[in-house]
Amino acid sequence: MPSRTRSAVVAALALMALTAGPVPATAAPPAAPLDHTALDYTALGDSYSAGAFVRPWATNDGCGRSASSYPQQTARRLGVRLTDATCSAAEVRAGVLEPQTELSGPPSVPPRNGWAPRPAQIKAVTAATDLVTLGIGGNSVGFIDIIKKCVEQGVAAFGIGSPCSTHYTRGPGAGPLNGRFTALEADFATVLKEIKARAPRAKVAVVGYPAIVADRTGCSFGSWRQLGTVTKGDMSFLDTLERRVNTVLRAQAQRAGAVYVDTYASSTGHGVCAGPEQRWMYGIKDNLTGPGTQSDPPSGLCRMVPGNGEACTVLHPNLRGATHQADLVTRALTGLAARSR
């Protein structure tokens, strides 16, 4: 990009950074969009970055990328050119560093011949990249499998105690889980080094996970629009697990000189146990949010989940949650662009 154009854009972004105040989760920043060809922004990440289950989403490749995801909202607000490589079910290794063969949608039902493997997301980062967001890690530690385990053990325990926590902290699941965290640290560091090698001048923001169940108040055992049959004791374990992932992401960002975007602290009162108007998070089986009438009817194991929710949304940000993520990421990228002057 010509230096004169870059200087003009950076100056405009710097002004935005100085004048923008706190932004509610449902409102866009007041800045006018910039020339969309001015800066190149590449988004890497999993379903929390892809905006899975927030309408409308793409249906062509099994990644479920939403037009309302935080990368998409952020790109529209700043007027930057977006390369969105995010994909549901992506892991740091199998997804960002290497091709992804396990794809979950939405749509949850794949085509007859299945989804084609997705190329390694890191290939979307090039020497022309100016800004990068990286939001990933939960799948690398097996978060969805852990949720399933907690649901199953909660039923067996009749909602009493914290059987899932015991399994993963003092039982047979402890060793494998610790091993996955060790691998996450190493793989995340590798990704950040690879981004630096591919795009030496790019500014990088690592995006953490928003709060799912920081506050258990309001959750009821057996409510599938919340956490289903996860016990109250195991809700605390899931929150601890999520904060542990965020701790790894923050530490790796700091070591690499990247900015960490904390989406957890400001969302603790808006998790899956909050009231309907305050929730920024889908439950296990919930109604979809976002414009349009797109649907993802229950199929496979999802049909066995009780309740009348429209889809097995399994603890992802809803439209309010995606907008909250976008508010914080927009602010972070505005500051990063200003610092590159």
All domains of the chain in start order, with CATH: 3-339 (3.40.50.1110)
What DSSP string describes 46-100?
SHHHHTTTBSSB--SSSS--BTTSHHHHHHHHHTPEEEE---TT-BTTBBTTB-B
Region 64-87: mean pLDDT is 98
pTM of the predicted protein model: 0.89
Region 30-57: mean pLDDT is 83
Higher pLDDT pick, 20 / 188: 188
Region 91-96: mean pLDDT is 99
Distance of CA 105 to the CA centre of its chain: 14
Residue 132: which H helix or E strand, with range? Answer: strand 131-135
* Count of CB atoms situated within 10 Å of the CB of 84: 25
Say if residue 88's pLDDT is above 60. Answer: yes
pLDDT for 29? 53
Q: Cα separation of 283 and 56, whole Å?
A: 19
**For residue range 78-87, what is the model confidence (pLDDT) as tens digits?**
999 999 999 9
Nearest to 121 by CA among 78, 61, 203, 75: 61
What DSSP string describes 252-314?
HHHHHTPEEE--SGGGGGGSTTS-TTT--B--SSB--BSSS-------GGGGGS-S--SB---
Percent of the chain with pLDDT over 70: 89
pLDDT for 38? 84
- Give me the phi and psi of 265, to 5 degrees please: -55, -40
On the 0-12 / 13-18 / 19+ scale of CB atoms within 10 A, 139 is buried
